[in-house]
């Protein structure tokens, strides 16, 4: 079977008026093949339906569906720990992608975080009110916003020795330099850093 580029060349030379023998000599293809593609002309390739590609999450799909149906409040982080204990070797993103697709299929109506009224998604103003109320109930007087939670989330991950590239993915940053600025520097990480001089004997 010849390539598309060669087929286009055969048809182009044929339109220029060259004979089958001349085209065969110029293209380095036998005359029978040249004649076949001239008679056939340029046809659009026909592709069959693509088979769904197996993913690393597939063996755990039934388990995840059952867990989410039984306990809708389970977090992705909790489910990630559970399937890791069952032998899952993939990443966290594959799990969240699966859960997002499952949510669309299982609950096509309504919002993941409904507002008031429930036919609308929760608004930034409602989020801020809820955050302020929770901060007041916890007795936190320091200034803080919802964005502060991202800083603390990233800092705690860093102090738990989570790779900064993992934090970059979780925060949705395109550049690693953004994550480095965003997370600040965790004080525990600084304390636990061993000087190269201390390793000398």
**Neighbouring residues of 123: CB distance < 8 A, sequence distance ≥ 6:** 115
pLDDT of 106: 73
Q: What is the pLDDT of residue 20?
A: 86
Distances, alpha carbon 132 to alpha carbons 120, 129, 177, in Å: 21, 5, 31
Report the pLDDT averaged over residues 160-189: 75
- State the first-to-last Cα distance of the chain, in angstroms, to the nearest integer: 68
Mean pLDDT taken over the chain: 79
Tokens representing 31 are: 């005359």
Torsion angles phi and psi, residue 50, rounded to 5:
-75, 130
The mean per-residue pLDDT over the stretch 132-151 comes to 89
Which contacts (CB < 8 Å, 24+ apart) does range 1-5 have? 2/29, 2/33, 2/37
pLDDT digits (tens, 9 = 90+) for 26-59: 878 888 888 887 887 655 455 567 776 788 899 9
Give yes or no for residue 183 having a pLDDT over 60.
Answer: no
């Amino acid at each position: 079977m010849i390539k598309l580029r060669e087929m286009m060349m055969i048809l182009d030379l044929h339109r220029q008026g060259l004979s089958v023998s001349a085209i065969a000599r110029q293209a380095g293809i036998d005359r029978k093949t040249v004649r076949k593609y001239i008679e056939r002309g340029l046809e659009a390739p026909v592709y069959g339906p693509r088979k769904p590609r197996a993913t690393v999450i597939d063996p755990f799909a039934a388990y995840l569906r059952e867990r989410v149906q039984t306990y809708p409040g389970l977090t992705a982080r909790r489910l990630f720990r559970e399937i890791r204990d069952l032998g899952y070797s993939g990443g966290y993103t594959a799990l969240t992608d699966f859960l997002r697709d499952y949510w669309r299929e299982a609950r096509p109506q309504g919002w993941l975080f409904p507002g008031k009224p429930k036919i609308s998604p929760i608004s930034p103003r409602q989020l801020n009110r809820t955050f302020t109320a929770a901060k007041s109930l916890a007795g936190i007087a320091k200034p803080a916003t919802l964005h502060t939670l991202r800083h603390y989330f990233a800092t705690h991950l860093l102090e738990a020795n989570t790779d900064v590239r993992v934090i970059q993915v979780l925060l949705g940053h395109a550049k690693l330099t953004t994550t480095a600025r965003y997370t600040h520097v965790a004080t525990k990480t600084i304390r636990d850093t061993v000087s190269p001089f201390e390793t000398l004997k």
